[in-house]
Amino acid sequence: MFSVHDQDDAKIAAFEQHPALTIVTEGPDLTVVACSDNVQPLRPGQVVGRPYRQVFAEQMGGQIQARFEACFRTGEPQSRREWPVRMDVPGQGPTEMFYDFTLAPWRGRSGEVRGVIASGYDVTSSVVERRRTERGREEAEGRHEQAVQSVQTLQDALLPVEVPVVPGLDVAARYLLAVDETSAGGDWFDALVDGDGRVCLVVGDVVGHGVSASATMGQLRAVLRERLLSGEAVEDAAAHLDSFAETIHEAHAATVCVVSVCPATGEVEYATAGHPPPLVVSADGGSRFLPTSGSGPLGTGRRPATARAQLAPDELVLLYSDGLVERPGRSVSQNTVDLARAAGDSYLGRSLDAPARTSERVCQRVLETLTGTTGYADDITVLAAQRVPTITPLDLHERAELATIGRVRRELSSWLEAIEARALDEMAVQHAVVELVTNAVAHAYDHPADEHVDVRVRLDREGDVVASVSDEGSWRGGWRRAGGRGLGMARGLVDDVSFNRRGDGTTVTVRHRLTRPAALLTGADDGGPHDEPGQPFAADTDDEAGTVTLHGPVDALAADELRLVLLHVGRGGSRPIDLDLSEVSMLASAGVQVLYEHGPGQLRLQAPPGSPAQHVLDLVGLPYARPPDEPDV
């Protein structure tokens, strides 16, 4: 039987030899009155008899000192997990260690708080191991992100970022990159106009994933695109692609669907080299899959064959990658039925907040509907083309007067909106044509009151807006000299400007290629405001602040009013003006001339990135700044 003495020895041994760091302090100064044996080696020198803050403040910091004081003052226990402690470990030197600390009040016989008992358990090994695991996970996530970024960068570089805008056929595309880098990078698509005016649509899939699959995809797309642009028939182009695939191991068994559509007649020629067949959606929402053309995947020894079909007016043909019919948890047959139903519903507009264009709506809603219910494990591509009415050319025969400029601008804006041109394309064509009309009105005739200017605008089969401005004048001072800044601006805004000086007048023709963005769902839309075709010029002024905000078109009709506004607000040029061009829909050369008259010393121009004014100011070299309330992009 243990004696009292033995029990006291056991208590002392339990305290001194306990694996936890144990420190007992007494009094408000927190003087150390006892500690376990394992404390002394970590803190050389005298420990007992000294205030805690003198002994451990450097190793444990001020926050744990505050917890000691709070425990003594309130009598409430305190705790802290994984407290970092700088210890001088024998054989290792200064080492960062981690302890789970518990501070409990030491109470006297009458219950008063006499001091604090601190216990600390060494959890350094578990913290180090956890941190090692976390670093490994972060590194793995970094490698994953880098791999996805590499595939994404390749896809962005190798896939088309836009589709053509052509008469009689409305084209849209969407590409959804797989989340997992081990499943991403095999799909590809293309949309182009060949030399005969036929629209060629392509969707393909390379066996494998990642950077290697993306590189192979880029090679296949380049070869097929070159053949189709050269005018080769679908069968011959597919045969050349098949021969090329035989020479590249990574391209073996790649699949591709090539569809060539004549927008005028709806005639379709197509090849399905091991690829799912196109889906045709009718105006009533019904759908049918075209028969496969009977050829196997590329590079497998089965020469691609072609088949023919017919698209009726308003019908839509949809090409897609196998990721859309091989979604998780459903059979291919179920996915095929889902695809046909989703495409038909999307065609009829049975969805909220969907795009107005049928082809764009079908692409968007098919992706959202099908991937939203089951998720997706592979890249997914959808490419749609709908037969639509051909837009009628714009023909104007107008008097050679300033009022004609506004009429031409409004008619042209309505025409461009009818074909849903992008905002920047609309701005470029409008600026160029209005500049040419302004020049003709101002300079072509000696007596313009009884003369006319003709404007003709059409969309050619390759997707170019072709606009001509004709007059029957003699051009006072010569056409090139009179054209001045307006001609230079027109050339800077559109793809091509040419002129034909005849004995009975002059015709100037501009060409500009129209495209729409292909939605690579790792990028952004081009955005940009579409202005109402009839929006008039207006100027909001604050005379006291010296600010002017312009709205609408700043053309020859608005130039005189702008000149008067700037003279008034600027008090005849005696003070600077902050001129905000954010809401300007057109900044013509007549408006630029007014800005030059006042000079950059008086005008502080403001134009947001991507605005019509910003493009013109860059073109003519006038300095400007971003509006102060414009968000960074």
Residue 136 resides in a domain: no
Which pLDDT score is estimated for 520? 75
For residue 392, what are its two tokens?
């009628």
Residue 207 resides in a domain: yes
Average pLDDT over residues 270-283: 96
Average pLDDT over residues 110-135: 90
Contact 623, 604 (CB under 8 A): no
- Tell me: do 281 and 321 sit in the same domain: yes
Residue 404: give its domain's CATH number. 3.30.565.10
- Residue that wins the pLDDT comparison between 34 and 610: 34
Q: Cα torsion at 400, 405, 411, 415 (round to 10°)?
A: 110
Average pLDDT, the chain: 84
Q: Which long-range contacts (CB under 8 A, 24 or more apart) does 237-241 make?
A: 238/271, 238/273, 238/295, 238/304, 238/306, 239/303, 239/304, 241/273, 241/298, 241/304
443: confidence class by pLDDT, cuts 50, 70, 90: confident
Instruction: Find the DSSP H helices in 185-256.
Output: 210-229, 234-246
Residue 134 resides in a domain: no
Residue 185 resides in a domain: yes
Distance CA 339, CA 342 (A): 5
**What Å distances lie between residue 103 and 53, 70, 76, 120, 518, CA to CA?**
15, 10, 9, 9, 64
Which pLDDT score is estimated for 152? 61
- Tell me: do 375 and 438 sit in the same domain: no
Contact 319, 327 (CB under 8 A): no
- Tell me: do 484 and 550 sit in the same domain: no
Which pLDDT score is estimated for 327? 79
Contact 383, 375 (CB under 8 A): no
At 504-526, the pLDDT tens digits run 889 999 999 999 988 877 533 33
- Tell me: do 157 and 100 sit in the same domain: no
SS3 state of residue 556: helix
533: confidence class by pLDDT, cuts 50, 70, 90: very low
Which of 489, 517, 545 is the C-terminal boundary of a domain?
517
Average pLDDT over residues 447-470: 92
Contact 515, 171 (CB under 8 A): no
- Residue that wins the pLDDT comparison between 212 and 164: 164
**H-helix or E-strand spanning residue 382:** strand 380-387
Half-sphere exposure of 159 (CA within 13 A, CB side): 32
Which pLDDT score is estimated for 477? 55
Which pLDDT score is estimated for 630? 63
Whether residue 622 is predicted with pLDDT greater than 60 in this model: the reply is: yes
Residue 138 resides in a domain: no
Residue 33: give its domain's CATH number. 3.30.450.20
Range of the domain at 451: 394-517
- Tell me: do 557 and 457 sit in the same domain: no
Average pLDDT over residues 13-28: 83
Which pLDDT score is estimated for 528? 35
Residue 128 resides in a domain: no
Average pLDDT over residues 263-291: 96
Which pLDDT score is estimated for 482? 47
Contact 223, 238 (CB under 8 A): no
Residue 499 resides in a domain: yes
- Tell me: do 557 and 601 sit in the same domain: yes
Distance CA 453, CA 319 (A): 46
At 178-216, the pLDDT tens digits run 755 544 567 899 999 998 999 999 999 998 777 778 888
Which pLDDT score is estimated for 288? 97
Distance CA 551, CA 582 (A): 8
- Tell me: do 54 and 24 sit in the same domain: yes
Q: What is the percent of the chain with per-residue pLDDT over 70, rounded to a whole number? A: 86
Contact 416, 429 (CB under 8 A): yes
At 210-263, the pLDDT tens digits run 777 888 888 999 999 999 999 999 999 999 999 999 999 989 999 999 999 999
SS3 state of residue 86: strand
The domain tally of the chain equals 4
pTM: 0.66
**What Å distances lie between residue 19 and 32, 38, 86, 123, 299, CA to CA?**
19, 7, 18, 12, 71
- Tell me: do 208 and 290 sit in the same domain: yes
- Angle at the Cα of 395 from the Cα atoms of 394 and 396, rounded to 5 degrees: 120
Which pLDDT score is estimated for 479? 47
- Tell me: do 160 and 298 sit in the same domain: yes
Residue 530 resides in a domain: no
- Tell me: do 497 and 541 sit in the same domain: no
Distance CA 436, CA 105 (A): 91
At 31-84, the pLDDT tens digits run 988 888 877 666 666 788 888 877 776 666 667 778 888 999 999 999 888 888
- Angle at the Cα of 261 from the Cα atoms of 395 and 378, rounded to 5 degrees: 120
Q: State the sign of the Cα–Cα–Cα–Cα dihedral 160, 161, 165, 168.
A: positive
- Tell me: do 268 and 323 sit in the same domain: yes
Distance CA 425, CA 430 (A): 8
Distance CA 40, CA 21 (A): 10
Which pLDDT score is estimated for 61? 61
Contact 555, 432 (CB under 8 A): no
Which pLDDT score is estimated for 446? 79
At 366-397, the pLDDT tens digits run 998 988 877 776 788 999 999 999 999 999 99
| Residue 131: Cβ within 10 Å count | 11
At 328-367, the pLDDT tens digits run 778 888 889 999 999 999 999 865 566 789 999 999 999 9
* Residue 474 buriedness (CB in 10 A; 0-12 / 13-18 / 19+): middle
- Tell me: do 511 and 572 sit in the same domain: no
Residue 301: give its domain's CATH number. 3.60.40.10
Distance CA 422, CA 615 (A): 15
**What Å distances lie between residue 583 and 431, 528, 586, CA to CA?**
15, 11, 9
